[in-house]
């Protein structure tokens, strides 16, 4: 017995761990939304390229666009242009779009739109970068200035990481003569980054610039420049202007390298405007959108993959164990008596079709009618089986009459009772009559009402939207439920009603 | 919490709950395949007769609708008899005929019953209204037990019976069930009968329980229920203990009746006996069962003869300070 108990506990534990584990996996790794209302920000980035076409010359515009799948999920990407050929190619980790046209006239506008979200982003492997580089050749005063700057940097740094931040700090000390010499009159972020790169190059440390866009509502935005260096395990990001380390989450890497964002052949006075909008989208809807795009999302291998009618069915079926566990609690912990073990769950399912208030009324009315008919028929000394059959036939007739009456009165839709509630009601009447025969009217009333009570409760539980969503989305819940059921199998404690029942034995102690 | 206080107090008194009874006793000691032996009273009776255990004499049984016509022949030679369903539970469907009156029968409560009514009742039994799960059933016609004078004083109509809980052949608890006006002459607690605890060593009645409350007197006869001695108590215990050997059911409720002429008889067996006996005895079943289980452990599962088991129980479950009422009060 002891070992059996141990086995049961082990089984319950395994079920619980599997259940909780699968839920955690879905939440933490697959980012499945915990509730149906969960919303995710969706970023819409519009890039507008404008230029004036030179007459009688072919036009070719090249622009960098973000690489796909770098910490974000791309929902949609579009290139909008009139009479331009569009071509996207990838090289050295950058993506570049090329718009081309034989000829164009006047001011031209090209648009690029990208929709992004953080959720369901595939975690990409970090591609390694160089860790050593050849020192550039530097002559004359620049060399001297650079050496002068590098000397204190070497002293104040412990490793590559601190070396880089120290270098950025020194270059940004604009009153420093050496820094001034190297920067010249240009103190733009790009130039500062170039000088940082130069100094680091002399120390054989490779860095590369990355151009990022900030994900915040804005009408106009300039790409922000960052530097990054590979330390053997990961990329370290630095802000070349203030030395800040680590790329904030709201930065999207657009392209990298020293090349400019855009090159326009056959055009002049080109400009470029970025605007960013934030939209909200239900996380669930997002997942469904992604599935259509065949992107990876949690929908793979989940019940959402079923065809819609099957999904609808499983939304109901999967809640049955939840109703069952309620019945289990009511019987084993509270000590309520119900007609048959799982009849309340069946009645609860029937309430889905009849609506709960109407269902309860129907239940009481029809059962009362059936039982009074039954007692009259008993008076006629009919045998059990014919008696039950007559009762059931009458129930069907009464229900048909009620539906007809309701239809004539225009209550219509509320009175449409499906086949399933009919069968359940019939069964309830049969069981109630049996209890009536065996235990008498008051007992059957008591049992009938407690059955109804449990049925209403389990119906409310089974149609509670947040719960149905949760159980349907995380079927691991069912394993936890099963684990609880196994544990209940060894519950030996008192039922709540027994505390009342045996109270006389305890009260006796006090006297 | 109020609840947890009650729970602790009940636990301390060794009160058994339904969950525990189902899980630790019925599930553990009663093999499911043995249930039909006790669920069918005809089978129980036949088995008991073979083993030499006293039971009310079987006059006949009816199994089919056509068989109902043989009723007249079966009861022809008897003025009184009982009709009951073989698979009934909780005393439902039992009809007691106490006398005959020309072509009519008279029930124990004095109601006149026609032959037709009797046949309709049997037909109801056959169709299974009284059997668990509504299976087809069989009607038994048997000897009507006549209550002793002593019991008549503390019961209303009907015949009181004695329920003894037997664990692995050891009687652990006993009570007398007294019919009341409310229970309509039936000895079933949930129908309003009174349960009166019995001292296992002497068969002396203790306090009573009625609807889960403790009582001192019979509500219909107003006689005190405590302090009477059940006659032939030794026989009752021996009978109950042997029912374990008879069925192999480890946790068993044995129902006995005391007949005026024939002494104690085994009426029926129950594989899922109720828990109200605890209130009647004012003692927890769990406490008593664990004493027997300790003994079983010490014996390493070795079976002992019934007489020895009864001795053990009498010694263990005697209630101190029980004094039978003075002899002149007893008939």
A318 C-beta neighbours (distance < 10 Å), count: 17
Nearest to B19 among A332, A385, A508 (CB): A332
Low-confidence stretches of chain A (pLDDT < 70) are 1-2, 69-70, 121-125, 291-301, 384, 411-418, 438, 507-511
CA nearest A510 in B: which residue? B9
Please indicate whether, in this complex, the C-beta atoms of A508 and B214 are within 8 angstroms of each other. yes
Residues B155, B296, single domain; the answer is yes
CB contacts < 8 A, A to B, total 87
Tell me the CATH number at B95: 3.30.1490
Q: What is the C-alpha separation between A323 and A481, in angstroms, rounded? A: 11
Q: Can you say how many angstroms the Cα of residue A291 is from the centroid of all Cα atoms in its chain?
A: 13
A residues 423-482 closer than 8 Å to B (CB): 434, 437-439
Closest CA to B106 of B71, B129, B87, B79: B79
Q: What is the C-alpha separation between A500 and B279, in angstroms, rounded? A: 12
Confirm if A102 and A60 have CB atoms less than 8 A apart. no
Residues B165, B249, single domain; the answer is yes
Residues of chain B positioned with their CB less than 8 A from the CB of A491: 19, 23
Q: How many domains does chain B divide into?
A: 2
Say whether residue A334 is in contact with chain B using an 8 A CB cutoff.
no
Confirm if A273 and A48 have CB atoms less than 8 A apart. yes
pLDDT digits (tens, 9 = 90+) for A332-341: 899 888 888 8
Residues of chain A positioned with their CB less than 8 A from the CB of B13: 505-506, 509
- Evaluate whether residue B294 is within a structural domain: yes
- Evaluate whether residue B282 is within a structural domain: yes
Residues of chain A positioned with their CB less than 8 A from the CB of B284: 505
Say whether residue B189 is in contact with chain A using an 8 A CB cutoff.
no
State the pLDDT at residue B255. 93
State the pLDDT at residue B167. 94
Tell me the CATH number at B235: 3.30.470.20
Please indicate whether, in this complex, the C-beta atoms of B7 and A494 are within 8 angstroms of each other. yes
**What is the least distance, in Å, from the CA of A368 to any CA of chain B?**
20
Say whether residue A307 is in contact with chain B using an 8 A CB cutoff.
no
Q: What is the C-alpha separation between A287 and A281, in angstroms, rounded? A: 10
- Evaluate whether residue B4 is within a structural domain: no
Cβ neighbourhood burial of B265 (10 Å; 0-12, 13-18, 19+)? buried
**Whether the predicted model's global pTM rises above the 0.90 cut:** no
- Evaluate whether residue B185 is within a structural domain: yes
Residues B179, B277, single domain; the answer is yes
Please enumerate in sequence order all residues whose Cβ is within 8 A of that of B305, keeping only pairs 6 or more positions apart, or say none.
Answer: none
State the pLDDT at residue A2. 65
Residues of chain A positioned with their CB less than 8 A from the CB of B24: 492
Residues B232, B291, single domain; the answer is yes
Say whether residue A385 is in contact with chain B using an 8 A CB cutoff.
yes
Residues B119, B261, single domain; the answer is no
Interface ipTM > 0.85: no
Supply the range of the domain harboring residue B78: 57-143
CA nearest A437 in B: which residue? B129
Say whether residue A5 is in contact with chain B using an 8 A CB cutoff.
no
Please indicate whether, in this complex, the C-beta atoms of A492 and B20 are within 8 angstroms of each other. yes
Confirm if B114 and B106 have CB atoms less than 8 A apart. no
Say whether residue B212 is in contact with chain A using an 8 A CB cutoff.
yes
Low-confidence stretches of chain B (pLDDT < 50) are 326-331
Residues of chain A positioned with their CB less than 8 A from the CB of B92: 437-439
Residues B139, B156, single domain; the answer is no
- Evaluate whether residue B164 is within a structural domain: yes
Say whether residue B134 is in contact with chain A using an 8 A CB cutoff.
yes
Residues of chain B positioned with their CB less than 8 A from the CB of A332: 19
**What is the least distance, in Å, from the CA of B45 to any CA of chain A?**
23
Say whether residue B113 is in contact with chain A using an 8 A CB cutoff.
no
Closest CA to A56 of A100, A106, A101, A103: A103
Residues B185, B307, single domain; the answer is yes
Residues B235, B207, single domain; the answer is yes
Residues B85, B222, single domain; the answer is no
Q: Which residues of A223-257 are buried (b: 16+ CB within 10 A; e: fewer)?
A: bbbbbbbbeeeebbbbbbbebeeebeeebbbbbbe
State the pLDDT at residue B295. 92
Domain C-terminal end among B87, B116, B143: B143
Residue of B1, B7, B18, B128 to mutate for A, most A C-beta atoms under 10 A:
B18
Please indicate whether, in this complex, the C-beta atoms of B19 and A506 are within 8 angstroms of each other. no
pLDDT digits (tens, 9 = 90+) for B209-263: 888 788 888 888 778 888 888 989 999 999 999 999 999 999 999 999 999 999 9
User: To which H or E segment does residue A237 belong?
Assistant: strand A235-238
Residues B108, B231, single domain; the answer is no
State the pLDDT at residue B326. 43
CA nearest B92 in A: which residue? A438
A residues 476-505 closer than 8 Å to B (CB): 489-496, 498-505
Domain C-terminal end among B143, B171, B203: B143
**What is the least distance, in Å, from the CA of B245 to any CA of chain A?**
23
Residues B76, B177, single domain; the answer is no
Please indicate whether, in this complex, the C-beta atoms of A438 and B92 are within 8 angstroms of each other. yes
Residues B104, B231, single domain; the answer is no
Please indicate whether, in this complex, the C-beta atoms of A493 and B20 are within 8 angstroms of each other. yes
- Evaluate whether residue B322 is within a structural domain: no
Please indicate whether, in this complex, the C-beta atoms of A505 and B19 are within 8 angstroms of each other. no
Please indicate whether, in this complex, the C-beta atoms of A502 and B23 are within 8 angstroms of each other. no
Question: How, if at all, do strands A107-117 and A39-53 pair?
Answer: antiparallel
State the pLDDT at residue A297. 59
CA nearest B116 in A: which residue? A381
Domain C-terminal end among B93, B114, B143: B143
- Evaluate whether residue B52 is within a structural domain: no
Closest CA to A225 of A198, A194, A264, A179: A194
The 3-state secondary structure of A78-97, one letter per residue: EEECCCCEEEEEEECCEEEE
Number of H helices, E strands in chain B: 12, 13
State the pLDDT at residue A195. 84
B residues 78-97 closer than 8 Å to A (CB): 89-90, 92
- Evaluate whether residue B119 is within a structural domain: yes
Say whether residue B111 is in contact with chain A using an 8 A CB cutoff.
no
State the pLDDT at residue B134. 62
CA nearest A442 in B: which residue? B191
Residue of A374, A433, A438 to mutate for B, most B C-beta atoms under 10 A:
A438
Please indicate whether, in this complex, the C-beta atoms of B134 and A502 are within 8 angstroms of each other. no
**B1, two tokens:** 């919490």
Is the dihedral angle over the CA atoms B217, B222, B228, B230 positive or is it negative? negative
CA nearest A386 in B: which residue? B127
Q: What is the C-alpha separation between A136 and A123, in angstroms, rounded? A: 36
- Output B30-33 pairs: Cβ under 8 A, ≥24 positions apart: B30/B249, B30/B250, B30/B251, B30/B252, B30/B271, B31/B248, B31/B249
């Amino acid at each position: 017995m002891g070992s059996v108990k141990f086995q049961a506990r082990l089984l319950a534990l395994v079920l619980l761990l599997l259940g909780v584990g699968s839920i955690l996996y879905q939440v933490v790794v697959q980012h499945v939304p915990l509730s149906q209302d969960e919303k995710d920000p969706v970023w819409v980035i519009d890039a507008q390229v404008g230029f004036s076409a030179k007459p009688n010359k072919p036009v070719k515009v090249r622009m960098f666009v973000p690489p796909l799948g770098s910490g974000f999920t791309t929902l949609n990407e579009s290139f909008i242009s009139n009479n331009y050929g569009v071509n996207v190619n990838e090289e050295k980790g950058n993506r570049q779009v090329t718009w081309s046209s034989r000829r164009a006239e006047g001011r031209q506008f090209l648009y690029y739109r990208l929709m992004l979200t953080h959720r369901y982003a595939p975690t990409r492997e970090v591609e390694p970068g160089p860790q050593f580089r050849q020192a550039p050749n530097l002559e004359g005063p620049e060399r001297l200035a650079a050496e002068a700057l590098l000397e204190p940097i070497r002293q104040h740094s412990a490793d590559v990481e601190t070396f880089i931040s120290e270098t950025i700090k020194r270059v940004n000390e604009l009153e420093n003569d050496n820094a001034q010499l190297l920067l010249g009159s240009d103190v733009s972020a790009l130039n500062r980054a170039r000088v940082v790169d130069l100094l680091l190059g002399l120390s054989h440390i490779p860095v590369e610039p990355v151009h990022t866009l900030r994900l915040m509502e804005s009408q106009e935005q300039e790409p922000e420049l960052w530097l990054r260096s590979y330390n053997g395990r990961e990329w370290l990001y630095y802000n070349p202007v203030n030395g800040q380390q680590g790329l904030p989450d709201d930065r999207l890497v657009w392209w990298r390298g020293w090349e400019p964002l855009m090159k326009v052949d056959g055009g002049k006075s080109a400009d470029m405007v970025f605007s960013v909008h934030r939209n909200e989208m239900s996380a669930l809807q997002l997942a469904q959108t992604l599935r259509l795009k065949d992107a990876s999302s949690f929908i793979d291998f989940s019940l959402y993959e079923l065809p819609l009618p099957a999904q609808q069915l499983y939304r109901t079926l999967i809640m049955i164990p939840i109703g069952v566990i309620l019945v289990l609690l009511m019987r084993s912990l509270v000590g309520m008596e119900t007609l048959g073990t799982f009849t309340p769950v069946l009645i609860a399912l029937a309430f889905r079709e009849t609506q709960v208030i109407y269902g309860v009324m129907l239940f009481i009315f029809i059962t009362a009618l059936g039982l009074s008919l039954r007692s009259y028929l008993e008076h006629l000394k009919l045998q059990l089986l014919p008696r039950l059959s007559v009762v059931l036939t009458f129930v069907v007739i009464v229900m048909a009459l009620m539906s007809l009456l309701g239809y004539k009165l225009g209550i219509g839709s509320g009175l449409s009772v499906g086949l399933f509630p009919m069968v359940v009601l019939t069964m309830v009447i049969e069981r109630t009559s049996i209890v009536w025969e065996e235990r008498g009217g008051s007992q059957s009333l008591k049992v009938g009402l407690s059955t109804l009570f449990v049925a209403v409760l389990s119906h409310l539980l089974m149609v509670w939207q947040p719960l149905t969503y949760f159980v349907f989305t995380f079927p691991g819940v069912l394993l936890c439920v099963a684990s609880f059921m196994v544990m209940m199998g060894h519950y030996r404690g008192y039922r709540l009603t027994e505390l009342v029942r045996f109270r006389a034995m305890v009260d006796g102690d006090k006297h | 919490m109020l609840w947890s206080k009650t729970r602790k107090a009940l636990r301390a008194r060794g009160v058994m709950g339904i969950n525990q009874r189902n899980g630790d006793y019925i599930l553990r000691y009663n093999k499911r395949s043995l249930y039909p032996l006790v669920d069918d009273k005809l089978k129980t009776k036949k088995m008991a007769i073979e083993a030499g255990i006293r039971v009310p004499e079987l006059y006949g049984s009816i199994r089919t609708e056509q068989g109902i016509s043989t009723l007249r022949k079966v009861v022809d030679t008897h003025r009184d008899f009982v009709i009951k369903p073989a698979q009934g539970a909780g005393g439902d469907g039992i009809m007691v005929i106490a006398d005959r009156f020309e072509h009519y029968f008279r029930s124990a409560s004095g109601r006149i019953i026609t032959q037709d009514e009797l046949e309709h009742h049997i037909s109801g039994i056959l169709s299974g209204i009284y059997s668990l799960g509504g299976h087809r059933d069989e009607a038994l016609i048997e000897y009507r037990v006549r209550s002793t004078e002593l019991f008549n004083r503390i019961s209303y109509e009907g015949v009181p019976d004695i329920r003894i809980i037997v664990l692995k052949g050891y009687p652990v608890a006993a009570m007398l069930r007294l019919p009341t006006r409310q229970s309509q002459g039936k000895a079933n607690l949930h129908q309003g009968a009174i349960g009166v605890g019995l001292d296992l060593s002497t068969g002396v009645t203790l306090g009573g329980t009625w609807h889960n409350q403790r009582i001192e007197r019979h509500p219909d006869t107003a006689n005190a229920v405590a302090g009477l001695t059940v006659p032939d108590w030794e026989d009752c215990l021996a009978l109950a203990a042997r029912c374990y050997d008879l069925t192999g059911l480890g946790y068993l409720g044995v129902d006995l009746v005391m007949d005026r002429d024939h002494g104690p008889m085994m009426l029926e067996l129950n594989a899922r006996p109720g828990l109200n006996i605890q209130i009647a005895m004012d003692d927890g079943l769990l406490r008593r069962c664990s004493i027997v289980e300790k003994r079983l452990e010490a014996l390493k599962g070795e079976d002992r003869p019934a007489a020895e088991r009864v001795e053990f129980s009498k010694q263990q479950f005697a209630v101190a300070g029980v004094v039978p009422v003075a002899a002149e009060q007893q008939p």
